A = this chain, B = another copy of it.
């Protein structure tokens, strides 16, 4: 069980590192800049989570595998991805959705393991899931995805609530993870596919 979660965690790290590296490629960064952006995207959210909870040194300091996975992903990306305009346009958003689902569950789980409440678990899932992407977007001077009305934070929060409620209702850890990740993925992928949004809180447009 523990091995599975660990394996998922490294997969999520690779996926987010790829999303950071691809964003770096859009800004014509040099190889070491690509490493920086990929790292920040992949381990930024979890680092914020761990420092807020006082779980320091943060996870990737005591376990070198995270940085090794990031370096391997960046090197593979630099060598293999030469013609991204030939990739289907949904590649990056879909990879990002998988990373969001994985990291939400892992963040919520870590909070529960450390003895925090279900509400804090949802918040920590959200921070782990969206933190890295927000830092990536700020560094690239884009409006963070989470700010746009595309059901991004929403998918993470609902996934976190699913996970916490499933565990509380007595389901085993693996089923809870599966349910939570599926709900995040279905919501986020549906939003991407059919351009769904929740009704926006709109103070800009004047109503007459």
A22 to B130, CA, bound (A): 21
Least Cβ–Cβ distance between A22 and chain B, in angstroms: 7
B154 touches A198 (CB 8 A): no
> Hey, what's the 0/1 contact readout for A49-89 against B, CB within 8 Å counting as 1?
00111101110010010010000000001100111110000
Q: Which residues of B contact A123 (CB under 8 A)?
A: 67
Q: Knowing that A26-B203, A53-B58 are A-B contacts, what are 20 other residue pairs whose CB atoms are under 8 Å apart, sorted by A's residue number?
A: A25-B203, A25-B204, A28-B149, A28-B200, A28-B201, A28-B205, A29-B147, A30-B153, A32-B151, A32-B153, A33-B149, A36-B130, A51-B51, A52-B56, A54-B54, A64-B117, A67-B119, A85-B206, A134-B139, A141-B141
A35 touches B84 (CB 8 A): no
Say if the beta carbon of A116 comes within 8 Å of chain B. yes
